[in-house]
Amino acid sequence: MAKDRPLVAIVGPTAVGKTEIALQLGERLDAELVSADSRLLYRGMDIGTAKPSPADLARVPHHLIDVADPDETWSLAVFQRAAAEAISQIHQRGRLPILVGGTGQYLRAILEGWAPPKLAPQPRLRAALAAWAAELGNEQIHSRLAALDPAAAGHIDPRNVRRTLRALEVTLASGRRFSEQRGHKPAPYRVLQIGLMRPRAELYARIDVRIQAMLAAGWVNEVKALLAKGYEPSLPSLSAIGYAQLNEYLRGKLTLEQAVAEIKQKTRLFVRRQAAWFKPGDARIHWFDAGSPRVVEEVEKAVNSFLSAKNIH
């Protein structure tokens, strides 16, 4: 039965150390990693997304990395289908799937069996909403959604204009809140959620160091290359934290110092938003100190205990 198939999820905020711990677990547990990070989907966006290096990708099989060009749209439903297919294939190979990433919607959609609202697209309404968003800006259009459907707005990043517009479209066309129409079905897996945490000050320090390392690795040139290929800065992919600010720097609207300061500030805000998805009080998540020298051994022990409970893997 699918319900008896194990799925391990590694969750936690940006820069906590999910990638390296997942790689070590993958090597130890004969596992394959399924990315649940919306930014890792896109080809050519490597440095600014902290994408695993070619050497890391060779250590353990990865899925849902470099599967789309920056101008392709991956809806939540598309991600769900692709992730479910990847997980199914991993199970067929007799290996353990590990879902890893920091995009809360992606993780919860898989772990909780989200079923998106079934309302068909409304092209004319969507066009009108898109024009409205272009006039008002991301934050203001998101605030309009918050006024109509606070629950939906609370689970949609204000930078994700596409999802904001879809929620408005469903709400306005149907007369019912978007959040009331999203269904759930039992997750078809036996799930273990591993949460990684660090003290907030330590996490912020790691973020600052990582941003400087990205810049030293050529992040500005990566953004230049994407723009030179004709990708518009307004694309959802290039509206990601860092890419948007460096584009402003390249256009002369910000100094590099200003852009870096804004990247750090917005990344810290993003970490606080992530905390709404991964709460220390959530009994479904088994939390570990990512800074512990024995964290990999501790997590491996928890996973093996989970697997042996049903003698599945």
Residue 181 CB coordination number (10 Å): 18
Same structural domain, 103 and 200: yes
Q: Per the domain annotation, does 222 fall within a domain?
A: yes
Q: Which helix (H) or strand (E) holds 15?
A: none
Mean pLDDT of the chain: 92
Q: Per the domain annotation, does 313 fall within a domain?
A: no
154: three-class secondary structure by DSSP: helix
Same structural domain, 213 and 301: yes
CATH of the domain at 209: 3.40.50.300
Same structural domain, 215 and 303: yes
Specify the pLDDT at position 312. 43
Same structural domain, 176 and 227: no
Chain segment 219-249, per-residue pLDDT in tens:
999 999 999 999 999 898 998 999 999 999 9
Q: Per the domain annotation, does 290 fall within a domain?
A: yes
% of residues, the chain, pLDDT over 70: 97
Same structural domain, 101 and 240: yes
Chain segment 172-202, per-residue pLDDT in tens:
998 889 888 776 777 789 999 999 999 999 9
Q: Which of 132, 156, 181 is the last residue of a domain?
A: 181
Q: Per the domain annotation, does 11 fall within a domain?
A: yes
Q: Tokens 């904001």 — which residue?
A: 164
pLDDT band at 208 (very low <50, low <70, confident <90, very high): very high
pLDDT band at 3 (very low <50, low <70, confident <90, very high): low
Which whole number is the average pLDDT over 54-65? 97
Chain segment 17-49, per-residue pLDDT in tens:
999 999 999 999 999 999 999 999 999 999 999
- Structural domain for 145, as ranges: 123-181
- The pTM of this model reads 0.85
Same structural domain, 145 and 240: no
Q: Which helix (H) or strand (E) holds 199?
A: none
Specify the pLDDT at position 310. 66
Domain count across the chain: 2
Question: Across the strands, what pairs with 42?
Answer: 68
Same structural domain, 198 and 279: yes
Same structural domain, 205 and 237: yes
Q: Which of 134, 161, 181 is the last residue of a domain?
A: 181
Which whole number is the average pLDDT over 1-30? 91
Q: Per the domain annotation, does 284 fall within a domain?
A: yes
Which whole number is the average pLDDT over 69-92? 93
Same structural domain, 33 and 82: yes
Cα–Cα distance measured from residue 73 to residue 77, given in angstroms and rounded to the nearest whole number: 11
Q: In this model, does residue 159 exceed pLDDT 80?
A: no
Phi-psi region of 45 (alpha: psi -120 to 50; beta: other; left: phi over 0): beta
Q: Per the domain annotation, does 291 fall within a domain?
A: yes
Same structural domain, 111 and 97: yes
Q: In this model, does residue 71 exceed pLDDT 90?
A: yes
Q: Per-residue b/e over 186-204, b at no fewer than 16 CB within 10 Å?
A: ebbbbbbbbbbbbeeeebb
Chain segment 278-313, per-residue pLDDT in tens:
888 888 999 999 999 999 999 999 999 999 986 544
Specify the pLDDT at position 233. 92
Q: Per the domain annotation, does 281 fall within a domain?
A: yes
Same structural domain, 189 and 177: no
pLDDT band at 1 (very low <50, low <70, confident <90, very high): very low
Q: In this model, does residue 73 exceed pLDDT 90?
A: no
Q: Per the domain annotation, does 160 fall within a domain?
A: yes
Same structural domain, 250 and 172: no
Contacting residues for 216 by C-beta, under 8 A, at least 6 apart = none
Specify the pLDDT at position 84. 95
CATH of the domain at 146: 1.10.20.140
